[in-house]
Amino acid sequence: MSAERIPILRMGSYLLVTIQVDMYDQLAMMLQDDLAHAIGQEESRGLLIDISALEIVDSFIGRMIANTAAICRVLDAETVIVGMQPAVAITLVELGLSLSGVHTALDVGRGMALLERAAARHT
């Protein structure tokens, strides 16, 4: 069994994940669990997931992203997905996934700004 894990970085009260490896399903599930624990334990205000290196988002990864955002919301944190390739976005919608309830931004900078605005509204 591979011990490969996707690193979760902390930036102040935000968590940052950059997916740069080929995601097989088990790895996606481990990331979802790791993120839920990290958000819960460290009282984060938001989570930013950079998927600019992902060549595809299929229903499994899409569900993992939607689940993670739902878990974060329950734990009082916002999730933003950044860097989705246009071809991935078109394919995702045609596949039938809308990722409703998940914030998206074009790049990391805009994603962080979005999280900060959400946190400011909250306090």
Partner 1 sequence: MSPGPIVSNQAFYQLRSDVDVAAARRGVRDWAQELGLTVLDLTKVVTAASELARNTVVHGGGGVMCLQVVRVGARQGLRLMFTDNGPGIPEIDRAMEDGYTTGNGMGIGLPGAKRLVNEFELSSTPSDGTCVTIVRWKA
Q: Note the residues at the interface with partner 1 (CB under 8 A).
A: 22-26, 55-60, 63, 85, 87-88, 90-91, 94-97
Least separation, in Å, of the C-beta of 83 and partner 1?
Answer: 15
Q: Could you tell me which residues come within 8 angstroms of residue 59 by beta carbon, excluding any fewer than 6 positions away?
A: 95, 96, 97
E strand or H helix at 33:
helix 25-42
In the bound state with partner 1, the residue whose beta carbon lies nearer, of 102 and 115, is 102
In the bound state with partner 1, the residue whose beta carbon lies nearer, of 13 and 91, is 91
Over 98-121, what HEC string results?
CCCCCEEECCHHHHHHHHHHHHHH
Least separation, in Å, of the C-beta of 98 and partner 1?
Answer: 10
Q: Could you tell me which residues come within 8 angstroms of residue 118 by beta carbon, excluding any fewer than 6 positions away?
A: 45, 46, 78, 103
In single-letter form, the type of residue at position 100 comes to S
In the bound state with partner 1, the residue whose beta carbon lies nearer, of 96 and 120, is 96
Least separation, in Å, of the C-beta of 23 and partner 1?
Answer: 7
**In this structure, what are the phi and psi dihedrals at residue 44, rounded to the nearest 5 degrees?**
-80, 155
In the bound state with partner 1, the residue whose beta carbon lies nearer, of 9 and 98, is 98
Least separation, in Å, of the C-beta of 123 and partner 1?
Answer: 35
